[in-house]
């Protein structure tokens, strides 16, 4: 349907992931959800699960660290849908325990290529499509571990006493959210960051009190569906603006 809102979610790599559940919840609300993974086979397998639930899902291959691939997907979205209403930057490399002195800096570059530069690249290349939407939204999936204060795990209260490159990259993503919000305000594009909280996307996280993926995804969906004229350049958790 041409009047459907179209949402694209990066980093939908597994059925237990928060990107997969976000796609499910948005599609259940009537969105056409484009789920992307590095391999087309992965996105198609996951899409089939949701399509069987009578949801409107489109699978695509996208590696956010490959700018030419980002450009190609943006062109495909433009050709097929003529616009994009919601961009959700969910692709990420998960926490690490790199040591400051012994780390291989190439590993740090990989983290930032995925978690920070990749998100900047999708915003860069999908913004022309977002301008064609009546309700454009960009949602950057961040983490409380990349915030200075707040409850739970943070930069000053790190999970397992480790400040990871992941956490630092999420702090950078929060800062980029402010910049993009300021730059795109003239286009009425709302740009916000969200922490879904400690979410049990892996079994070990459930052992540390991680909540359900469904609950974590609700935070993302809330920001993705903010009303026109809503807040921009903010950091959200569970529908509330928090400090980072």
Catalytic residues: 166, 170
- Cα angle at 230 between 226 and 232, to 5 degrees? 100
Burial level of 144, CB count in 10 A (0-12/13-18/19+)? buried
User: Pairing state of beta strands 86-89 and 6-9?
Assistant: parallel
32-37 vs 57-61, strand pairing mode: parallel
Cβ contact 19:35 at 8 Å: yes
Q: Which of 80, 173, 189 is nearest to 127 (CA)?
A: 189
Taking the C-alpha atoms of residue 240 and residue 18, their distance in angstroms, rounded to an integer, is 19
Strands 240-242, 6-9: parallel, antiparallel or unpaired by DSSP? unpaired
């Amino acid at each position: 349907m041409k009047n459907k809102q179209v949402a694209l979610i990066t980093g939908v790599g597994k059925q237990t992931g928060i990107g997969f559940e976000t796609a499910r919840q948005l599609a259940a609300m009537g969105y056409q959800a484009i789920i992307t993974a590095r391999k087309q086979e992965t996105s198609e397998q996951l899409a089939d699960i949701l399509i069987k639930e009578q949801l409107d899902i489109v699978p695509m291959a996208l590696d956010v660290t490959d700018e030419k691939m980002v450009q190609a997907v943006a062109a495909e979205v433009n050709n097929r849908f003529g616009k994009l209403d919601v961009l959700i930057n969910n692709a990420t490399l998960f926490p690490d325990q790199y040591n400051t002195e012994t780390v291989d800096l190439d590993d740090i570059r990989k983290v930032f290529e995925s978690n920070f530069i990749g998100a900047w690249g999708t915003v860069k290349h999908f913004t022309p499509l977002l301008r064609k939407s009546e309700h454009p939204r960009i949602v950057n999936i961040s983490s409380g571990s990349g915030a200075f204060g707040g409850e739970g795990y943070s930069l000053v209260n790190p999970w397992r006493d480790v400040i990871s490159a992941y956490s630092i990259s999420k702090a950078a993503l929060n800062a980029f959210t402010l910049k993009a919000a300021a730059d795109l305000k003239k286009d009425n594009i709302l740009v916000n960051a969200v922490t879904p909280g400690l979410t049990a996307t892996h079994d070990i996280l459930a052992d540390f009190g991680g909540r359900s993926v469904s609950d974590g995804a609700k935070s993302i969906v809330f920001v993705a569906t903010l009303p026109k004229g809503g807040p921009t350049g903010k950091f959200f958790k569970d529908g509330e603006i928090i400090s980072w």
